Every structure is written in structure tokens, then in C-alpha cells.
Amino acid sequence: MRTSRRFAGLAVLLLAGALGIAQAVTSAGPADAAQSIRASDPSVLRVGGTYTSVQSVGNGIVVRQASSPDGLGAAATQQVFTDTQGLGELWAPEIHYDGGRYYIYFTMGTGSAHRMYVISSATAAGGYGGATKLNLPDDRWAIDGTMVVFNGQRYFVWSGWAGTTNVEQNLYIARMSSPTTATGTRAIISQPRESWERVVGNPYINEAPEAIQDPNGQLHVTYSANGSWSDQYCIADLRLRAGGDPMYVWDWYKSNGCLFGSNRVTMMAGWDPTLFVNGPGHHTFVLLNGDINTSPPAGSKFPLMFHAVPKGTPYSWANRFWYTGSFMWWAGITYSRANVPGSPTDTGYSIKFFE
């Protein structure tokens, strides 16, 4: 995410063909050509054999559909929403499929007035109604919301402020009684307090949460850390302990560094910086029906999309592209709480990301 955005149209990047992994072109990079999308904050959903992406363009949202993630760059756009109320910046739409309907969650507003909204339709590429503001607990600044169903219960996870001023961006979670209705209180699950999350700040941020379930059935929420305006932007992981309560902060364990990033100083031990892009962040796991129960088994690679800037290009929001990458589970990884007395630890699956 960021404070203000300008999106460009389609652009041509050279992407890797092997294993369907796309990488930015550098002098040492791969040489297969394909189209990509010059934009931020990808969200891609697979239903059957159709891949649907949503993107913020100006004061609206466009949808693309293709038979593969790599095909989305060449696909025609269909406008499915326009902010006719003039509510301000429209950021980071995210598409979900629940109970036979499609839901697109997104942020609108200016300054401290940013809030989460939702539109829905029976079809992915059209028929959406007007935007409804989500009734998130405490009604604070909120961006980058995502919905997940875990153990039969819907939850909404987002990046927000504790109060009414921009001190830092935390990750919050609330239960949902339906895809459009939050219920109960909000609970904090992550704050940017680790040294590797504070390389670039003002404010320090945790944002762009994405939920997924590992082969042990444990819930993960990956997220972006460090200033989105810098190439220190990177992706880290929260893992819920086995049998833990998603609403209880001490049941969450954080990776000991970023798992996907372009700078060694932010990376968890055993994870390497990217070779072809800078500042990878705000990603989407491309799961069937968006259902975390379709997450990959151990040993398999699954597609994802993320945004980043090609190495050799000045880092800026305007220079971001969507990339098709992949990920897989990595077993036996210990996460610890560096800032908690006694440093409690939890061992389980982590994630390897590939450009």
C-alpha cells in the first residue's frame, strides 16, 4: 500500500518461462517475453479454469480474466466499479469467492478517513452493486483488508491504526457473521516492532495481509513490512500455533525476518534476497476458489502474484509491476518472539517464495 497512487496501463516486461515463474529483466535475467501489468497490489482468484484479477485504476476497479496467471497481462479490462461519491483514493481491491458469490474488498477515503468497503456479484466480471462500508470494530483508519474462513469461522484481517493518528500500521482481526458483516471486537495480531520491520519507517508498517493454511492445518497470515516507498519493502509471516485462537495475539508467532525481499539485512536466516526485482510486497496466493483448504501440500509449488520493481530501475510506486511467482512450504522452521521475555518459540511450516 501507499499514501497515494497512480496506476499506468499495460507494459511489456521480459518474464521467465521456466516453471511459469516471472522475473524482471536485468542484464543477467531471463529472456522470454510476455506481457505484464504495471500496477500495485495484485489480487487473483481461480474458479474452475478461470483466473480473475482485480486492479484499482483511478477512482474505479477493473477486472481481467484469463486461463492462466501469466495470461492476465494481455486480457481485456472490464470496469466493475466507479466511485461516484467522490470518497477519495481507492486502493488495493481484493477479490474473494464465498457461497457462490464474488466479493471485492477495497479501501476508499483521504487521509485519516480511509475505510474498508465491499461490493458483490453473482459473476466475477460484472453485475456488482454499490459499495457498502464494512462495519469494522472501532471504525478506525483501515486498508488492505482480506477475508478468510478458518475452521468454519469467517475472519477479516486488515492494516490499521490503533487510534486516530498515524503512529504505526498494525494488523487487526475481527470475526465476521457474513462476508459483509464484522461482529464483536477487533484484536491486534501484529505490530512493526522487530528491528528488521523498522529499517524504513515514518510510519513503521505491517500491511497487505494474506491468509493461507499449511499442510499441518495451521493458519498463516503473510504481510508486507518496511516502508512501501523503499526497496526495503518485503514479505514476512505470522503462524498461528496448532489449536490457537486467531483472536489471541500470543497464539501468533512471527518469522524471524522477511521471507521474500531484496535486501539481506531484512531477511530471515536461510532465506536469500531476490535476484531480479527490488522491494517485493503486497502479494496474492492464487488458490482454487480462494479457499485456504486448497493450499498446496508439502513438496508442491503453487502460483502467486506480487508487485515489485525491476532491478536497475529507480524504486517508486509508479515503477511497480505485477509478477507471477511461486511458493512452497518449508518444514521445521522455528519462529520466536524476540521482544518477549523468555523468547517463546514455535516450530512448524514456513514459506519459500520464488521469483
Taking only the tens place, the pLDDT of each residue in 193-220 is: 999 999 999 999 999 999 999 999 999 9
Position 4 in a domain: no
User: pTM of this prediction?
Assistant: 0.90
CATH of the domain at 245: 2.115.10.20
Residue 61 amino acid letter: I
Position 107 in a domain: yes
Give the number of other CB atoms < 10 A from CB of residue 191: 17
Q: What average pLDDT is seen over the chain?
A: 90
Q: What number is the average pLDDT over the span 56-68?
A: 97
Total domains in the chain come to: 1
Residue 71: phi and psi, rounded to 5, are: -80, -10
Position 2 in a domain: no
Position 105 in a domain: yes
Q: In terms of residue numbers, what domain contains 322?
A: 10-354
25: pLDDT strictly greater than 80: no
318: pLDDT strictly greater than 80: yes
- Residue with C-alpha cell 487473483? 44
Position 75 in a domain: yes
Q: What number is the average pLDDT over the span 22-51?
A: 65
55: pLDDT strictly greater than 70: yes
289: pLDDT strictly greater than 80: yes
Of the pLDDT bands very low, low, confident and very high (cuts 50, 70, 90), residue 339 is low
Q: Residue 36's pLDDT is what? A: 74
Position 302 in a domain: yes
Q: Residue 34's pLDDT is what? A: 27
Position 223 in a domain: yes
Position 1 in a domain: no
Report how far residue 335's alpha carbon sits from residue 347's, in angstroms, rounded to the nearest whole number: 6
